[in-house]
Amino acid sequence: MSILQSTAPGSAAPVNLSECAAESSPLQAQAAPAAAAATVSLDTLARHVPARVVDLAPASNVEEQELMLRLMEIGFLPGERVRIVATGFPGPDPLAVRVGEATFALRRHEASKVLVAVEGRA
């Protein structure tokens, strides 16, 4: 199942999320150059290093499918700019992640599901 497909809660039928987007071609055009760069998970990205979302890791169960849907709903979509703004203190959780124009707190295991391509420093 790709990032653009999910299973609706309470249903076994896949839902094509690309049909829900108003325009999918600009995202695909932005994501194409990012796919050429090395792909890493968001939890391994260093602070303040710019990157673009490439994909989400495949879900292996219903809980992970719900997490993937939540990540997509808050903006982790292919082509979207992302960077780690801060990390927790004294431990590694949570991560303050800037995606687009919004900032969210993610646990490391949630961030590990977001695959990104590192961009050149801006």
Give the pLDDT confidence of 90-102 residue by residue, as tens digits. Answer: 888 899 999 999 9
Q: Regarding the domain delimited by 5-118, which CATH topology (the fold level of the hierarchy) does it fall under?
A: SH3 type barrels. (2.30.30)
Domain assignments of the chain as residue spans, ordered by start: 5-118
Cis ω for the linkage preceding 50 (within 30 of 0): no
> Any idea what DSSP says for residue 101?
T
Q: Is 8 exposed, middle or buried (0-12, 13-18, 19+ CB in 10 A)?
A: exposed
What is the pTM (predicted TM-score) of this model?
0.69
pLDDT band at residue 36 under the 50/70/90 scheme: low
Nearest to 7 by CA among 57, 59, 76, 78: 59
Cβ-proximal residues to 34 (8 Å cutoff; 6+ apart), any chain: 51, 52, 53, 54, 78, 79, 116, 117, 119
